[in-house]
Amino acid sequence: MSFSTEVKNEILDYEERNFHCLNAELTAYILFCGELFGDDNGFNIVIRDSVKSVLNRTKALIYKLYEAEVSIKGNEIVIDDSGLVQKIIENTKVKDRGWSDYDYVVDRSVVSSMCCKRAFVRASFVACGSIADPNKQYHMEFVSSDYDLMTDLKEIISEFGIDGKIIERKNYFVVYYKEGEQLVDLLNIMSAHKALLEFENLRVIKEVRNNINRKVNCETANLNKIVSASVRQSEAIEYIKNTVGLDFLPDNLRTMAVARLKNPDASLKALGELVDPPIGKSGVNHRLNKICEMASELKGEMQNEYKGISCWYKSCRKTYRYACSDCWQIC
């Protein structure tokens, strides 16, 4: 059973006793699942739905409101008793738009109180709504081919402080909600409290899991960054050591180079505590960057050995066709 079906079953099991709320619920079923036919002999109401539970609920509502029995034939309920139809039309204010002009598909007097709005939203969800599995995504929507009706539904829900959006999908109009907080509020409005608790539990688990993943990813990225920087720094120090020697470096840089070679996995903070006197992370980073720059310059000098270069080791300023053998000890 899908999560959406669970929500609908819980809503259908909800017992409403107030006449005006039952009337608002019946109004929604008629608007979303029904049609009003009229001729010279009066009106007939036909309510169609492929889900038997919706028809059973509609039948039960009619009995509670009017103590009248209606029969279900196939996938529809046909109400042809002119007296009963007249009472339903008077109470639900449902009209055939081909016969009369009016401002709203949903008469505001039917949903004047907040409890009636709740009942209307409940029935609307059962009739044309769905909610996605919260393990996969947060999404609730209502679908109808009637744009005016969907606009009214959106406005009724917005009175609870929940703003949705309307889009057109093929030949239908969809009012949808995609934020977790909105879905929690809607489930509460529809009195689907069991589904609400399940949704909240899944939402908390999902949020905790996402937070853990973010922290792990962040720590992994930081470790990768530290390892990458350490490898780059160690390679630069080894290059200097194997070419001109660490004595080539000033005292402060040589001390840092030795500390890095002995502690390749240490953080900048830990390296700063190993030198005497201790220095901060910014100081360690500055010295290591300076060492890497000097190694890069040495490599550049080596690659340009045929161009004639100036040796910059200590006080030596000679120009050689090849690298200075006096300083670098290579030919």
pLDDT, one tens digit per residue, over 225-258 is 878 888 888 898 888 888 888 888 888 888 898 9
Q: What pLDDT was estimated at residue 276?
A: 85
With beta carbons less than 8 A apart as the criterion, state whether 268 and 238 touch. Answer: no
What SS3 string covers the chain? CCHHHHHHHHHHCCCCCCHHHHHHHHHHHHHHHEEEEEECCEEEEEEECCCHHHHHHHHHHHHHHHCCCCCEECCEEEECCHHHHHHHHHHHCCCCCCCCCCCCCCCCCCCCCHHHHHHHHHHHHHHHEEECCCCCCCCEEEEECCHHHHHHHHHHHHCCCCCCEEEEECCEEEEEECCHHHHHHHHHHCCCHHHHHHHHHHHHHHHHHHHHHHHHHHHHHHHHHHHHHHHHHHHHHHHHHHHCCHHHCCHHHHHHHHHHHHCCCCCHHHHHHHCCCCCCHHHHHHHHHHHHHHHHHHHHHHHCCCCCEECCCCCCCCEECCCCHHHHCCC
Q: What pLDDT was estimated at residue 309?
A: 46
Q: Is 4 exposed, middle or buried (0-12, 13-18, 19+ CB in 10 A)?
A: middle
Q: What pLDDT was estimated at residue 271?
A: 87
Separation CA 41–CA 84 (nearest Å):
14
Measured between its terminal Cα atoms, the distance across the chain in Å is 80
Separation CA 58–CA 123 (nearest Å):
10
Tell me the pLDDT tens digit for each residue of 93-116: 887 554 444 445 888 899 999 999
Q: What pLDDT was estimated at residue 96?
A: 56
Q: Which domains does the chain have, with CATH numbers?
A: 3-191 (3.10.28.10), 216-328 (no CATH)
With beta carbons less than 8 A apart as the criterion, state whether 177 and 220 touch. Answer: no
**Letter string b/e over residues 209-222, b meaning 16 or more CB atoms within 10 A of that residue's CB:** eeeeeeeeeeeeee
Distances in Å between the alpha carbon of 88 and those of 104, 148, 178?
18, 21, 35
Q: What pLDDT was estimated at residue 322?
A: 40
Question: Which parts of the chain have pLDDT scores under 50?
Answer: 98-103, 306-331
Q: Is 178 exposed, middle or buried (0-12, 13-18, 19+ CB in 10 A)?
A: middle
Q: What pLDDT was estimated at residue 103?
A: 47
Torsion-angle region of 197 (φ positive above 0: left; ψ -120 to 50: alpha; else: beta) = alpha
